[in-house]
Amino acid sequence: MTAEAPISHRAVLRILSGVLLGMFLAALDQTVISTALPTMAADLSGVEHLSWVVAVYLLTSTASTPIYGKLSDLYGRRSLLQGAITIFVGGSMFCAIAQSMPQLILARAVQGLGGGGLITLAHAVIADHVSPRERGRYQGYLSGVWATASVGGPVLGGFFVDHLSWRWVFWINLPIGALAYLLCWRALRHLTRKSESRAIDFLGACLLTSAVASLLLVATWGGSQFPWLSLPIIALGGGGLALLALFLVQELRAIEPILPPRLFRNDVFRTANCTSFLVAMVLFGTTMLLPIFLQIVSGMSPGRSGMLMAPFMGATVVSSFITGRLMRSTGRYKRLPIIGLSLATLGLALLATMTVNTPVLAISSYLAIIGMGFGFTFPVMLVSVQNAADPRDIGVASSAVNFFRSMGGSFGAAILWSVLIVALGHRLASGGAAVGDDSLALLRGGPEGLARLPQGLREAVLPALGYAFHVVFASAAGIAGVALAVAATLQERPLRTNTTTADRAAAD
């Protein structure tokens, strides 16, 4: 059978109209919540669990991502994308009515189960119909989605906190989700529907979820809730590694593995996913903690801190658009993440120099440098993996990129939060500032709690907070430097000019 001719530009736009709104839903949720986190945690009296509001979403989306990819390869993308939207919207509703931090964390876990499919399936649908070389032509549409969500999300979140309630960062997902469901139903109804009867590796998914959860608890609790060599941390770490080993054994024997071992024989796959993991650690950890710094240390309102995140998000989108254009025109990609991660490392090092008196313009410049660096990196990792993957694995390969990205984000949020708590506690103890039972007493009350401290104590506490954030951003810069070293080993392969649909036809 000969290869199919590429579909028309109009047909691609019709398909994009459905999947991009689903992607927008997930993108908005990742940005709108950032400026509301401090108020949310203070209102529900659970700042010690703040990192779990981010990490548990990433955990469940991480675990579900490879399942969506595998199922979509077997049964098609449309019904799974609609199911993911439904689960995501249901989880958002439960988040909005949560009355305690445990309820919110549980609802975020449900939300993550749906979120795991939104971006992964959108990328898979696009990869089915647009070649890696031509994908740059449509990068503007993808960038437009992220631009709207990235720039508008923090501002919208700050507006909700200042004028309505933090609960509106979740209520807003309901009308957007309903529209996304309708558009996906209309835009994707003409796509070929698959119906293959194959076994799904649910045991592997359970083992992977359990392993990641155990290791994430180690990253969250180690050094803060429990000493590193305590029995709970050793037990969780050992259990996580044992579960991970069982998962690897299961993948080798499974008929339809969640993460096929053959993928890891591909040099591009290994390098790109390792880079994605490290970059996501920095991205999610930084975007979670930066609003806390701006609101508690710099004394900004949620709305203003949201506005200050706009240069970071906007630069990410602009550089992503440029990256797509360059890949389309040259067919090459290796130099882009090297440039990007060099910029990100520099920007994070500059963030580590911030103080209470750092000008807003300087902070905006640092954030724009970091955002531009990430924008040069993330699109390359996805396209390089899709370009190197076998056509039969395009769904699971796309989901693997998002899997490692989500897993990196989970660990980054947990680890950098733990670094903040440990560094703050150490500085307070060495300075003799008694603000409560532990360093969490400072963060539990948010900006208002810090303002209620006596003047003399507040003057002693602010430098300790500044020092702790210096350590956090310096740690993030170190992680970005490691990612740069890994990205430098990425193997470059010419970008294909045919789609996965045509590849399958040619193989048949």
pLDDT confidence of residue 502: 44
Residue 261 · residue 251 · CB < 8 Å: yes
Q: Is 178 left (phi over 0), alpha (psi -120 to 50) or beta?
A: alpha
pLDDT recorded at residue 477 = 92
How far apart CA 64 and CA 201 sit, in angstroms, is: 12
**Residue 508 pLDDT level (bands cut at 50, 70, 90):** very low
Residue 194 burial (CB count, 10 A)? 12
Three-state SS for 226? strand
Cα→Cα distances 152→115, 287, 314, Å: 19, 15, 10
pTM above 0.75, yes or no: no
pLDDT digits (tens, 9 = 90+) for 104-120: 888 888 888 888 777 77
Better-scored residue on pLDDT, 430 or 503: 430
The answer to whether 228 and 170 are in contact (CB under 8 A) is no
Tell me if 477 sits within 8 A of 352, measured CB to CB: yes
Note the pLDDT of residue 507: 39
Average the pLDDT over 256-264 and give the result.
78
Give the residue-averaged pLDDT of 411-436: 72
Q: Which of 74-83, 149-158, 187-196 has the lowest mean pLDDT?
A: 187-196
- Give 5's pLDDT tier (boundaries 50, 70, 90): very low
Q: What single letter denotes the amino acid at residue 83?
A: G
**CA trace torsion 5, 400, 26, 144 (10° rounding):** -50
Alpha helices in 222-359 (DSSP H): 231-253, 267-292, 302-308, 310-330, 335-351
Q: Is 70 exceeded by the pLDDT of residue 286?
A: yes
Average pLDDT, the chain: 75
Other beta carbons within 10 Å of 489: 12
Residue 342: per-residue pLDDT: 93
The backbone torsions φ and ψ at residue 222, rounded to the nearest 5 degrees and listed phi first, read -60, 125
pLDDT at 408 over 80: yes
Task: Give the pLDDT of residue 348.
Answer: 92
Residue located via tokens 């988040």 = 95
For the segment 12-53, what is each residue's pLDDT rounded down to a tens digit? 666 676 677 777 777 777 667 766 777 777 777 666 666 677
CA distance 80 to 114: 10
Residues in the chain: 508
165-199 pLDDT per residue, tens? 888 888 888 888 888 788 777 766 655 555 555 56
The pLDDT of residue 440 is above 70: no
Task: Write the pLDDT tens digit of every residue in 449-488.
Answer: 555 555 566 666 777 788 888 898 999 999 999 999 999 8
DSSP 444-494: HTHHHHHHTS-HHHHHHHHHHHHHHHHHHHHHHHHHHHHHHHHHTTPPP-P
What does the pLDDT average to over 118-132? 69
Please state, in angstroms and rounded to a whole number, the distance separating the CA atoms of residues 499 and 501.
5
- What is the distance between the alpha carbons of residues 113 and 57, in angstroms, rounded to a whole number? 8
Residue 293 has what DSSP assignment? I
| Res 478: pLDDT | 92
